[in-house]
C-alpha cells in the first residue's frame, strides 16, 4: 500500500508540475516574443506598404537623377538645391484626373511639413507655362511647381510611364520610394511615413 500510495503521490506531483508548466510557459513565451519584436514603425518598416509606396534601394542606394527646370515665374531650380531635405517628387499633368484628385492632399502635406524639412515638388510634363500657371492659380496651390516642357525628366530620367507618379527622395539624395497612381497623401499612413523619413 505504501508503495502504491507513493506512486499516487509521485504521479500527483508530476501532474501538478505539468499543469504549472502548462500555465507558465505560454505566458513566458509571450513575454519573450514581445521583448524581441522590433518597435512598430522602426525605420519606417510598417508605413511604406500602408501608404501604398514601393520601397526602393534598401540594399543598394539609388541616386536620384539631377535635373534643373523652370518655375512658373521663370526661375531655374535644381534638385541638388534640396540636398539635406526630404523631397516629394510628383510627375503630373492638368489633363490627368487622378493627378487633379490627389493634389489637395499634396497641398495639405506641403503645409504640414514645409517648415520641417519636406519639399513637395510637382513637375508638370509637356504643358505650357500659361496653362499650368492658370490651373495652379485657380486651385491656390502653394507647393513648388516645375515645368518639364519637353518631358525629358519624366520620360527619360525617371521613367514615369503614367501620371501621377511620385518618388520619395531622402536627405542624402537617394530615391527610396515610388508610387504609381493617386494616393491620399494626407492620410495617417502617409503622414507617418513622411515623419519617419524626416527623422532619419
Q: How many domains does the chain have?
A: 2
My answer on whether 73 and 127 are in the same domain is: yes
Q: What is the pLDDT of residue 45?
A: 52
- Residue 115's CATH number: 3.40.30.10
Q: What is the pLDDT of residue 198?
A: 98
My answer on whether 94 and 140 are in the same domain is: yes
pTM of the model: 0.78
Q: What is the pLDDT of residue 43?
A: 45
My answer on whether 136 and 62 are in the same domain is: yes
My answer on whether 48 and 129 are in the same domain is: yes
**Angle, alpha carbons 74-152-69 (nearest 5°):** 20
My answer on whether 57 and 136 are in the same domain is: yes
DSSP labels for 81-149? GGTTSEEEEEEE-TT-HHHHHHHHHHHHHHHHHTTTTEEEEEEEES--HHHHHHHHHHHT--SEEEEET
Residue 126 belongs to domain spanning: 42-199
My answer on whether 171 and 120 are in the same domain is: yes
My answer on whether 125 and 195 are in the same domain is: yes
My answer on whether 9 and 90 are in the same domain is: no
My answer on whether 80 and 112 are in the same domain is: yes
Q: What is the pLDDT of residue 26?
A: 46
Q: What is the pLDDT of residue 1?
A: 30
Low-confidence residues of the chain, pLDDT below 70? 1-45
My answer on whether 1 and 75 are in the same domain is: no
My answer on whether 73 and 161 are in the same domain is: yes
My answer on whether 107 and 25 are in the same domain is: no
Helix (H) or strand (E) holding 173: none
Amino acid at each position: 500500500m505504501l508503495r502504491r500510495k507513493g506512486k499516487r503521490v509521485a504521479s500527483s506531483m508530476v501532474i501538478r508540475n505539468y499543469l504549472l508548466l502548462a500555465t507558465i510557459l505560454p505566458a513566458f513565451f509571450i513575454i519573450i516574443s514581445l521583448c524581441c519584436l522590433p518597435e512598430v514603425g522602426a525605420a519606417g518598416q510598417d508605413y511604406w506598404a500602408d501608404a501604398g509606396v514601393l520601397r526602393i534601394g534598401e540594399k543598394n542606394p539609388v541616386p536620384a537623377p539631377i535635373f534643373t527646370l523652370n518655375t512658373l515665374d521663370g526661375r531655374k531650380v535644381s534638385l541638388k538645391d534640396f540636398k539635406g531635405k526630404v523631397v516629394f517628387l510628383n510627375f503630373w499633368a492638368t489633363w490627368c484626373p487622378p493627378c487633379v484628385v490627389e493634389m489637395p492632399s499634396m497641398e495639405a502635406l506641403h503645409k504640414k511639413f514645409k517648415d520641417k524639412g519636406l519639399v513637395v515638388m510637382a513637375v508638370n510634363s509637356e504643358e505650357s507655362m500659361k496653362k499650368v500657371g492658370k490651373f495652379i492659380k485657380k486651385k491656390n496651390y502653394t507647393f513648388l511647381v516645375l515645368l518639364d516642357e519637353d518631358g525629358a525628366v519624366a520620360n527619360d530620367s525617371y521613367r514615369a510611364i503614367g501620371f501621377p507618379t511620385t518618388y520619395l527622395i531622402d536627405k542624402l539624395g537617394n530615391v527610396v520610394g515610388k508610387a504609381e497612381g493617386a494616393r491620399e497623401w494626407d492620410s495617417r499612413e502617409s503622414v507617418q511615413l513622411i515623419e519617419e523619413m524626416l527623422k532619419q
